[in-house]
Chains A and B, each alone.
Chain A
Amino acid sequence: MSAATPARAAVPATPMPVPNLASRLFGLGSIFGKTFRDSRRTAILLGVVAAFLVIVSAVALATEFDTVEKRRAIAAQLGGLPPIFQGMLGEMINIEGLGGFLSWRIINFLPVILGIWTIVAMSGLLAGEVGRGSMDLVAATPRTRGRIALEKLGGYLLALLVTTALFALGTWASIAALATLPGDMVGADAVLGHAAWILVATVAPGAVAFAAAAFLGRGGGLALGAIALFGSFLINGYAASISAFEALKPISYFSLTARHRPLAGVEDWAAVGLLAAISLGLCIAGVLAFARRDLLVPTGGRVRLPTLPIFLAGPFTRSLGERLPAALVWGLGLAAFGAIVSFSVDEFVAAISGIPQLIEMVRQFFPNADITTAAGFLQLAFFSEAILFLAVATTLLVAGWASDENERRLELILSAPLTRTGWAVRSTLAVMVGIAVMTAILVAGTVAGAATQAAAGDLGRVATGVAVLGIYGMALAGIGLAVGGLVRPSLAAPVTLIVALGNFLWELIGSIADFPDAMLDLSLSRHLGQPMLGEFDWPGMALCVALAIGGVVLCAVGMRRRDIGR
């Protein structure tokens, strides 16, 4: 073996200044700095949103329940409800105190919202750059691949730390300003302890996505991260109501860390430490895989389905062919969720049959509802969560539509004798059909689960109720597609997600802060009625249909007028 050739001495005449510490930490001075720089706006925005949610909730509780008696009364009222009526927020721990209430009512949900960002970002940290084609240039610089991966991971985790710090600051300020009753005041150590859980629980699904993306590519990593995030949350939320989920609790990281709520006065550092260790292990696996494997876009040995000739026939079928795999996968996942919840109808009916007061109480709120049927149960236990998951799936379908222009395929497509309007209408209709397919699978899964139950009730009502989700999804897609067509395609998916999460959060904040109905009604999801119970909000449904159709039309108008490839 020949000896290494000695490096030639080259002394630059006017050396470029070595990047300073600030540039290496927050700028273009290092891979770490650039990664942080790329994430900083989202990190700050999400941190501010998290802090705002906590502050609004704290103000609402402190002003509405300003005496010890009122606090005890609300805690007793909420605690007396069966778990299915308590929502998806997990166990109530010391909710008469400000910290305990905030922890249960709003903070328990933050790892889900932040987790969506984490799985999107961490699945693409390395795989996204490999897919784009920039990693070859980065990897040819004098840095080991392990270091590149660590710097990118570190930069992103620093951004997440900023988000968590903003949340902690908002929480500490809320409690310091509004703790007026005994038990309200908690120390900074409890705030930090809670923030540590938020950080670890937010990183966990991202770590799954990061490790999986090294083997399956960005899409595969994103899918597994989403399964870890939503699966864990649902298992934990439904475990007390549905025995099938109770058995799955050991695999839910939300269940694992459910007893670590320092703001409520309980700590379980062992659980948080274990989750942190698992996440660290996954991150190390991702780093090692990136360092050792070929720098190629990983396909994960996925099965390639044959392309049917019909999917090559024209813009509509081609676009449908592109959207269909995601629609099928999301549809099957959602259908599994619907089926599992439906399988618990009899169990739920048996549980509440012995509590006539409870049935009476529910009838006060839903006079036409028969909660002892599958449809009634699903309206309470399924609809509000399914709406969120369907919105995420819709966002991905819209993102797929936008990729034609973002990835510069559109210029070639439009070089064919095809009008822009024609392409826009056909390709956006394919998105709508994708949503319809996804919804149809969800309907089938949910109805199949309900059909096995003695208290199945009117299965047609179950089907039409679930189908309303699809109309809502099409309305969201219409909004995103309109913005994508009128302004630029890179905005289509973010706008869809922001509108979906905005609706969800608006209702959440509104219910906590006791907004007047006129304000709450700004949320589109408030205008679907109680479809599983047979109560349809027809004007709201018409609005959704108009948004879907209008979105397609506006997209086509925008595509006709604006420059392509912006």
Chain B
Amino acid sequence: MTAVIETQQLTKSYGSYRGIVDVDLVVNEGEIFGFLGPNGAGKTTTIRLLLDLIKPTSGSARVFGIEASADPVAIHRRVGYLPGEWNLYDRLTGGETIRYFANLRGGIDKAYVDRLIERLDLDPSRRFGEYSRGNKQKVGLVVALQHRPELLILDEPTSGLDPLVQQAFNELLFEAKAEGRTVFLSSHIISEVERTCDRVAIIREGRLIRTDSVEGIRRLSAHEVELRFSGDVDPAQFEAIEGVRNVVVEGRVIRMLVTGPIAPVVRLAGQHDLVDLVSREPSLEEVFLSEYASRSDRSASTSTSAGASR
């Protein structure tokens, strides 16, 4: 598989402020890659480094095998970009804005642009300054998509879009993937990433904490298991099984989180009068939140113990 984006120990600091630290990232050709993290985690900094809008403090970022700071123009020629926070020219209409950026690129398929405008339900005759936030976002999406780039870098792309347009946008992403193009999608809307992405990276406080397929992340995470018995059962037996935690008893129902194989739990439950068993795979959102919660707990306990030792 060809890596379209590849960063090695990519680090950016803004004076005393943290940007990102030692980010190692690989995005392969033809995949939709989700970049998850809360506000301020370093998603936008990473993207701006990929496009050479800012320079790295250390490490390297390559896009299409080209060092970002060595030949950014060669990269920009093949990339469509929608920033997270942006604005355009209030006095131009949406159509003029789109035409201006088309002119800056050249060789745009006009029929395709017209189709994009139609699919995103954009009225291009109004001035940019008069648009609602969602309509401005549509203009930005057309600007990013109109030249059918090999790599789409989208920072919070669905911000302000209504559900119907979001659906149209998702279809555009899948079409891009079907055509073998690559999408790098930064978001904190986890359901959106779960719906559209093949692989996901989670960034926290400037560091990548996990990169895997959506399925892989789910697999590695705990299943929520609910066991209903006809009589009382001692929960301690389940707590003793490796990978089982958060055991909660409500009458004759025992709930637990199970990381790893579920078979030992099922075997033990079968030794009792089991009425019902429900095992639910966690959503990406639950994984994300539990990942953050557990890391926050860990760092809190680390800092507490560090504080105690001082």
Nearest chain A CB to B282 CB, angstrom units: 36
Listed stretches B99-107, B198-206, B291-299; interface member: B99-107
The answer to whether B103 and A29 touch across the interface, beta carbons within 8 angstroms, is yes
B100:A34 contact, CB within 8 angstroms: yes
A4 at the interface (CB under 8 A from B): yes
Question: A136 with B99: in contact, given A2-B62, A4-B66 (CB under 8 Å)?
Answer: no
A139-180 with Cβ < 8 A to chain B: 139-145
B180, CB-defined interface residue at 8 Å? yes
Contact between B65 and A5, CB atoms less than 8 A apart: yes
Give B82's nearest chain A residue, CB to CB.
A137
- The answer on a CB contact under 8 Å between A133 and B109 is no
Bound Cα distance from A134 to B139, whole angstroms: 13
A1-25 contacts to B, CB under 8 A, are: 1-5, 7-8, 10, 12-16, 18-19, 23-24
Q: Is B243 an interface residue (CB 8 A)?
A: no
A residues in contact with B79, CB < 8 Å: 140
A227 interfacial contact with B, CB 8 Å:
no
Interchain CA distance A19-B53 in the complex, whole Å: 27
Q: How far is the CA of A28 from the CA of B108 in the complex (A)?
A: 15
- Within residues 58 to 109 of chain B, which ones have a CB less than 8 A from any CB in chain A? 62, 64-67, 72-74, 76-79, 81, 83, 85-89, 92, 96, 99-109
Tell me the complex Cα distance, A18–B150, Å. 21
Shortest beta-carbon distance, A327 to chain B, in Å? Answer: 28
Q: How many contacts between A and B, using CB within 8 angstroms?
A: 118
Question: With A2-B3, A2-B62, A142-B73 as given contacts, are A13 and B104 in contact (CB-CB < 8 Å)?
Answer: no
Kindly state whether residue A296 has any CB partner on chain B within 8 Å. Answer: yes
15 CB contacts below 8 A, A to B, read A7-B77, A12-B107, A14-B111, A14-B112, A16-B113, A28-B100, A31-B104, A133-B86, A133-B87, A136-B81, A140-B53, A141-B101, A142-B104, A142-B105, A295-B54
For B88, give its contact among A4, A28, A134 (CB under 8 Å).
A134
In the complex the two chains form, what is the Cα distance from A262 to B104 in whole Å?
Answer: 42
Q: How far is the CA of A139 from the CA of B54 in the complex (A)?
A: 11
Instruction: For chain B, give the interface size range.
Output: 35 or more
Q: Does A132 touch B at the CB level, under 8 Å?
A: yes
What is the minimal beta-carbon distance from A185 to any residue of chain B, in angstroms? Answer: 45
Q: Shortest distance in angstroms between A38's beta carbon and chain B's nearest beta carbon?
A: 8
Closest to A141 in B: B104
B20-68 contacts to A, CB under 8 A, are 29, 48, 51, 53-55, 62, 64-67
Report whether A294 and B104 are in contact in the complex, using a CB–CB cutoff of 8 Å.
no
Residue A78 CB within 8 A of the other chain: no
Q: Check: B4 CB closer than 8 A to any chain A CB.
A: yes
Tell me the residues in window 152-182 of chain B with beta carbons closer than 8 Å to chain A beta carbons.
180
Whether A13 pairs with B111 at a CB distance below 8 angstroms is yes
The CA of A5 and the CA of B74, in the complex, are separated in Å by 11
A30 at the binding interface (Cβ < 8 Å): yes
| Interface members, chain B 123-165 (any A CB < 8 Å) | 140, 143, 148, 150
Asked if B237 is an interface residue, CB under 8 A from chain A, the answer is no
Tell yes or no: B2 within 8 A of A by CB: yes
Chain A residues within 8 Å of B66, by CB: 4
Interface: B110 (CB within 8 A): yes
**Minimum distance in angstroms from A37 CB to a CB of chain B:** 10
Look across to chain B and name the residue whose beta carbon is closest to the beta carbon of A295: B53
With a cutoff of 8 Å between Cβ atoms, the chain B residues found around residue A142 in the complex are: 73-74, 76-77, 104-105
Task: State the CA gap A281–B77 with chains docked (Å).
Answer: 31
Our pick among B81, B85, B87, B109 for the contact of A140 (Cβ within 8 Å) is B81
Q: Knowing A3-B65, A16-B108, say if A143 contacts B73 (CB, 8 Å).
A: yes
A274 contacts the other chain (CB 8 A): no
What are the interface flags for A106-134 relative to B under an 8 Å C-beta threshold, 1 for contact and 0 otherwise? 00000000000000000000000000111
Query: Interface residues, chain A, CB within 8 Å of chain B?
Result: 1-5, 7-8, 10, 12-16, 18-19, 23-24, 28-31, 34, 132-134, 136-145, 294-296
**A13-B112, A138-B104 given; 8 more Cβ-contact pairs under 8 Å:** A2-B3, A10-B148, A12-B148, A15-B107, A16-B110, A133-B85, A137-B83, A142-B73
A14, B65: Cβ atoms under 8 Å? Answer: no
Contacts of B29 in A (CB 8 A): 5
Cβ of B217 to closest chain A Cβ, rounded Å? 27
Q: Which of chain A's residues have a CB closer than 8 A to the CB of B113?
A: 16
**A136 interface neighbour in B83, B92, B103, Cβ under 8 Å:** B83
Instruction: Find out whether the CB atom of A13 lies under 8 angstroms from the CB atom of B109.
Output: yes
Q: Report whether B76 and A141 are in contact in the complex, using a CB–CB cutoff of 8 Å.
A: yes
- Alpha-carbon distance A140/B48, docked complex (angstroms): 10
User: Known interface pairs A13-B109, A141-B104. Does A296 touch B73 (Cβ–Cβ under 8 Å)?
Assistant: no
In the bound complex, how far is the Cα of B180 from the Cα of A141, in angstroms? 22
Contact B76 A15 (CB under 8 A): no
Residues of A within 8 A of B180 (CB): 8
Q: Which 7 A-B pairs give the minimum distances between C-beta atoms?
A: A12-B109, A142-B77, A294-B54, A133-B87, A140-B81, A5-B64, A16-B110
Inter-subunit contact B109/A16 (CB<8 Å)? yes
Residue from the list A7, A137, A139, A145 in contact with B78, Cβ < 8 A = A7
Expressed in whole angstroms, the minimum distance between the Cβ of A40 and any Cβ of chain B is: 13
Complex: A143 Cα to B113 Cα, angstroms: 21
Given A28-B103, A134-B89: A140 touches B110 (CB 8 Å cut-off): no
Whether the Cβ atoms of A137 and B81 lie closer than 8 Å is: yes
Q: Which of B48, B51, B78, B87 has the most CB of A within 10 A?
A: B87
A151 to B238, CA, bound (A): 71
Q: Whole-angstrom distance between the alpha carbons of A13 and B108 in the complex?
A: 9
Q: Given A132-B87, A142-B73, A14 and B109 touching (CB < 8 A)? A: yes
Check A28–B99 contact: CB distance below 8 A. yes
- Residues of B within 8 Å of A14, CB to CB, are 109-112
Chain A residues contacting B105 (CB-CB under 8 Å) are 141-142
In angstroms, how far is the closest chain A Cβ from the Cβ of B298?
33
The reply to whether B87 and A134 form a contact with Cβ atoms under 8 Å apart is yes
CB distance from B160 to the nearest CB of A (A): 14
CB distance from A323 to the nearest CB of B (A): 24
A23–B103 CB distance below 8 A: yes
Question: Chain A's nearest CB lies how many Å from the CB of B195?
Answer: 26
Given known A12-B108, A16-B109, A28-B99, contact A5–B4 (CB-CB < 8 A): yes
